[in-house]
Amino acid sequence: MRSTSRHILGSVKEMIQACIQCGTCTGSCPNAFAMDHTPRHLWQMVLNDRTRDVLTSKTFILCSSCYYCTLRCPRGLPLTDVMGSLTRLARTENPTGFKKSHLFYGQFLQSIRRHGRVNESELMTLFFLEMKNPLLPLQYAGLGLKFLQKNKISLPFVEKEGSHGLEKIFEKVREMENQA
Amino acid sequence: MKYFYYPGCSLEGTAKEYNLSTVSLMKALGTDLIEIEDWTCCGASAAHAVSELLSYVLPTRTLALAEKMSRERKEKLDILVPCSACYLNLKKVSHDISSAPGLLEKINAVLEIEGLVFENRLAVRHLLDILTRDIDIHDVLNRIQVPFKNFSIAPYYGCQCLRPFPVFDNPEKPESMEPFIRAAGASVHSWEMGGRCCGASHMTTKPEVGRMLVAKILTRAKWADMILTVCPMCQMNLEGFQKGISRASHEKMDITILYLPQFIGMAMGLPENQTRTDLNLCITPGFYDKYQAALKQLSDGITRSA
């Protein structure tokens, strides 16, 4: 954790200020069973400025964006978006936590940056390399082989005809975010 | 009818059959799809985990390209999107810019370097929305050639074509696929799992959780002949890990999973090179035999009546 300042959660706090702790979000969440803090509990922690506990919690990384909580929240709060905001915060404030998810999403964006469109086999190859776990690829080997047999995935690092990267766009976004 | 078409990255790779069967079905139903030139990735679930601005810029780039085509062709067409994740990312842009002052200007400041501008002029619509609200079900009914009698079919909608924006179906109790299942002569498998989550990218980042969610869905479809999907992520999660899940739970959970346009195409008698069922990962032997029997009955019937 880089910092435990209470300001970090400021923007997120604003988004859930009106939470009444009813727990509809938790009752609707398909992933609550695997979380260390239920969504309702996480909102309470945010509102109480428990920055460190919030950003080391597994809760937001387990959100699969099903939008049940957002749909059902009686206060109409954008709870799925809040999970996204917390994921982004954790990426900068707690970079060593959630290594697998951060690496996967990072590689995903690199693939878009390089090719404009995602090259699925390249994404998985680089993800496995970065994870440095020789057993990990085995979990997906069967599926990858099936896709190859059906000629459904292209070879990694081969540029598709007519595709191009989005270098300038990514650079401009970075520039604007640094200014903000 | 005409639409701009955004296939998205998966439909060029692991979900090729979703792309090819959608194009074939829409053509058979007398609809033209005009692919958005130079489209790029919508950001999937990755962009919003890394950069908020990028998560808006990526889908908007493609929307701006569609608007450019619309201006050049002097046609205002809706954008048809078969992938639920792409659909939501594209649709969310026009929703969020109305509630976040300055967001549109920020997005356009980035797109400017490619000479693009987004004006929020075109409607983004899911394939299931267009099938449900633009296509006349009687038109489909009249074209049914292969009746799926004695088939029980489980419609699986997943999340993001239903939520958070309830556009064409009830996000708590979806039923928009049912008319197509009944039109094909099959019965609708009764279950509550239609709108439940498949775990999305958990299968890669949190496989132990992803497998639990998929196992719940497969278990409840046990007595159905197949599950229909309208999203490449759902399809891959439901069909790609059946063996592992069966092994872990000591229960046989293999079941045929098809994309909705593949199924409607099969019922309308489109050939395999249009429905591309050769590309699916799990069409069970039981399903295949039952389907062949339906075909045989049909050809016997035709011979008898001739």
Work out the average pLDDT over B118-143: 97
B283 vs A: CB within 8 A: no
> Binning pLDDT at 50, 70 and 90, where does residue A35 land?
very high
For residue A157, pLDDT beyond 80 = no
Residue of A nearest to B209 (CA): A34
Q: Report H helices in chain B.
A: 16-28, 47-50, 52-73, 84-99, 103-111, 127-133, 137-143, 178-183, 202-205, 207-220, 232-240, 242-249, 260-267, 272-275, 285-305
**Encoded tokens for A70:** 């957002």
A6-93 to CATH, choices 1.10.150.120, 3.40.1130.10, 1.10.1060.10, 2.130.10.30: 1.10.1060.10
Interface contact flag, B164 A70, Cβ < 8 Å:
yes
φ and ψ at residue B125, rounded to 5 degrees: -135, 140
Instruction: Work out whether strand B79-81 and strand B2-5 pair parallel, antiparallel, or are unpaired.
Output: parallel
- pLDDT > 70 fraction of chain A, expressed in percent and rounded: 92
pLDDT over threshold 60, residue B306: no
pLDDT in tens, A3-19: 556 678 999 999 999 99
Distances (CA, A) of A124 to A104, A150, A156, B42, B265: 8, 18, 9, 18, 32
* Partner-chain contact A166 B44, CB within 8 Å: no
3-state helix, strand, coil in chain A (%, to 5): 60, 0, 40
State chain A's mean pLDDT as an integer: 89
Side-by-side strand order, sheet with B187-188: B187-188, B152-155, B226-229, B256-259
Could you tell me the two tokens for B56?
A: 């808006």
Put simply, whether B12 touches A (Cβ < 8 Å) is yes
Residues composing chain B: 306
Over 80: is that where the pLDDT of A106 sits? Answer: yes
Q: Which domains does chain B have, with CATH numbers?
A: 2-128 (1.20.1050.140), 144-305 (3.40.50.11810)
Question: What CA–CA distance (Å, rounded) separates B47 from A106?
Answer: 9
Query: Which residues in chain A are closer than 8 Å to B11, comparing Cβ atoms?
Result: none
Looking at chain B, the whole-number percentage of residues with pLDDT higher than 90 is 93
A150 to chain B, closest Cα gap in Å: 6
Quickly state the pLDDT bin for A144 (edges 50, 70, 90): confident
pLDDT tens per residue, range B251-303: 999 999 999 999 999 999 999 999 999 999 999 999 999 999 998 888 887 77
B278 phi/psi in degrees, rounded to 5? -70, -15
Give the pair of three-digit tokens for residue B185: 């002569």
* Confidence grade of residue A160 (pLDDT, cut at 50, 70, 90): low
Residue-wise pLDDT tens digits, B209-253:
999 999 999 999 999 999 999 999 999 999 999 999 999 889 999
Return the residue of B nearest to A127 by Cα. B204
Amino acid in position A171: E
CB A108 within 8 A of CB B204: no
Nearest neighbour of B50 by CB, restricted to A65, A106, A166:
A106
What is chain A's length?
A: 180
B9 contacts on A by Cβ (under 8 Å): 117-118, 120
Q: How far is B172 from chain A (nearest CA, A)?
A: 9
Give the residue extent of every domain in chain A: 6-93, 99-179
pLDDT tens digits along B4-29: 999 999 999 999 999 999 999 999 99
On whether the CB atoms of residues B129 and B82 are closer than 8 A, the answer is no
Peptide bond into B164 cis (omega under 30): yes
Q: Which of A58, A70, A100, A109 to mutate to test the interface with B (most CBs of B within 10 A)?
A: A109
Given its phi and psi angles, is residue B97 left (phi above 0), alpha (psi -120 to 50 degrees) or beta?
Answer: alpha
| pLDDT score for A2 | 52
Size of interface A-B (CB pairs under 8 A): 159
Helices and strands (H and E) in chain A: how many:
10, 0
Angstrom distance (rounded) from CA B123 to CA B79: 6
Residue A158, both tokens: 């081969």
Measured between beta carbons, which residues in chain A are less than 8 angstroms from residue B212? Answer: 33-34
What distance in Å separates the CA atoms of residue B276 and residue B270, rounded to the nearest whole number? 10
* Contact between B106 and A176 using a beta-carbon 8 Å cutoff: yes
Q: Could you give the ipTM of this predicted complex?
A: 0.95
